[in-house]
A = this chain, B = another copy of it.
Amino acid sequence: MTGTKTRILDTALDLFNRHGERNVTTNHIAEALGISPGNLYYHFRNKTAIVAALFERYRQQIWEWLPPPKGELTWQDKMHYLQGILESMWQGRFLHRDLPHFLHQDPELRAEYTQFVQDGMERGLQIYQGLRASGLIEASDEDLRALMVNTWVLAMSWPGLTHGLNPAAAENETLDRALLRQGIYQIVCLEAPYLRGEALNHLDAMKAEFRVGDTTVNLLFTASDPHVGEVSNG
């Protein structure tokens, strides 16, 4: 990929993630890069092509963030996988926030996304099976599959749901990332009943690492706040 092409994708990703893809035109992207619209069109014929290229890049990154398990896994490996999910939610948040729109507007992307779901579920099951083989998780095959589906749904949906409730947070990276951290806390809670050995011994540490107590954003209710109705939505 040429330098300009990479720079276009970097800039588009940044603008999409901060302002939402609907609010960013190809002219905005060209302007932010200091290139002409014509130069941009030379590399990407329209915004849909940029979204498709960003999805492809995102998909490749996910396989790196969530590598297949090798040998005996430790609870630190488990933490790395959780960090990998957080990173994927963060880098791809513009996609997650408006997924029905992208799947609707581009049938090719929908086909790619369907394949991505299948591959992602397979990779995730491999990882859960690796954790089980290492004595960090105990679950039947059926339970493990259902857990994988629920983890997938949570990771894919959390950025969109929290963004829908807190659209202004997208302008503030610290707040915006806090919203996503709480999603990882929710995944830890999802897995908690199945954890064993040193993963179970470190459950409180894992929760503490991702739990967000900040009530200046609507986190679908933080675990520590007993006053459900009082959570503000700033």
Contact = CB atoms under 8 A, between A and B. Distances in A.
23 contacts: A97-B100, A99-B160, A100-B101, A103-B167, A110-B164, A113-B165, A117-B165, A117-B218, A121-B228, A122-B228, A125-B228, A142-B223, A143-B189, A145-B221, A150-B154, A150-B186, A152-B220, A153-B154, A153-B158, A153-B161, A154-B154, A157-B157, A193-B193
Contacts of A118: 221, 228-229, 231
Copies of this chain present in the complex amount to 2
A149 interface: yes
A226 interface: yes
A147 interface: yes
Query: Max chain B CB contacts within 10 Å: which of A114, A150, A192?
Result: A150
Interface of A: 20, 22, 97-101, 103-104, 110, 113-114, 117-118, 121-122, 125, 141-143, 145-150, 152-154, 156-158, 160-161, 163-165, 167, 185-186, 189-190, 192-194, 218, 220-221, 223-224, 226, 228-229, 231, 233
Contacts of A193: 193-194
Contacts of A22: 104
Contacts of A165: 110, 113-114, 117
A135 B166 CA distance: 37
The SS class assigned to the A binding surface is helix
Query: Max chain B CB contacts within 10 Å: which of A110, A158, A192, A193?
Result: A193
